[in-house]
Amino acid sequence: MSDPPPTIVPTKAELFLGYCKIGLFGFGGVAAWARRVIVEERRWLTERDYAEILGVGQVLPGPNVGNAAVMIGRRFHGLAGAFLATAGIYSGPLVILVILSLLYERYGQLPNVAPAMAGIAAAAAGMVIGTAAKMVGKLKLAPEAIGILLLAVIAAVWGRISLPLVVLLLAPVSIACSLWRAGLLGASKAAPR
């Protein structure tokens, strides 16, 4: 087995600009794009190092790629690097969002803007639904999990119950069903020998 290619330590400017690129070009979640830039293009980290950092970022509160930016920036340039990487990933999207907000505030009531916003909202909703459908397709859910999924959709869409409340109500049921299916709750399956 061959060794991974050597990694490169970015300068502070390269760190900031690399994370600017990640923030500006990563639509609908930047994890895949961040990996491409950090591991493949810039070779700052090996695949394994990036996966480990992203894994830690996923168990911390906040966006996982933002958490990874802090850890990667700190690894290369200490506290300054953590700030530079974080500023890089969020500065471009923040500027764009502020400009769009100002434009919407100024022109949002024009008759031609409402249909455009409706189209954008429909596309965003489609992205969310498409992502959810891909996830459900890959999960190979048990029948009781599909039932809980349907209950969540019914509660949120038709019952108009807030999502945190839906999670609060259905998470214990879902956990209990998973424990039951694994044979750890009640007597659903014979224990393996």
Mean per-residue pLDDT for 144-169?
A: 90
User: pLDDT by residue (tens digit) across 9-56?
Assistant: 999 999 999 999 999 988 767 887 888 899 999 999 998 899 889 888
Determine the Cα–Cα distance for residues 122 and 99; give it in Å rounded to an integer: 21
Percentage of residues in the chain with pLDDT exceeding 90?
A: 46
Q: Please determine, for residue 1, whether its predicted confidence score (pLDDT) is greater than 70.
A: no
According to the model, what pLDDT value does residue 131 have?
Answer: 62
Enumerate the domain spans of the chain.
Answer: 12-107, 126-193
Tokens representing 155?
């509660």
Please give the average per-residue pLDDT across 99-126, as a whole number.
Answer: 87
Averaged pLDDT for residues 132-153: 82
pLDDT class of 109 with cuts at 50, 70, 90: confident
pLDDT at 59 over 90: no
Inter-residue contact 192 to 163 (CB < 8 Å): no
Are 77 and 15 spatial neighbours (Cβ–Cβ below 8 Å)? yes
Give Cα separations from 180 to 54, 66, 175 (angstroms): 31, 36, 8
Q: Which pLDDT score is estimated for 138?
A: 67
- HSE at residue 176, side-chain half, CA atoms within 13 A, is 7
**Residue 175 in this model has a pLDDT that exceeds 80:** yes
pLDDT of residue 135: 65
The mean pLDDT value for 138-149 works out to: 84
Rounded to two decimals, the pTM is 0.61
pLDDT value of residue 193: 46
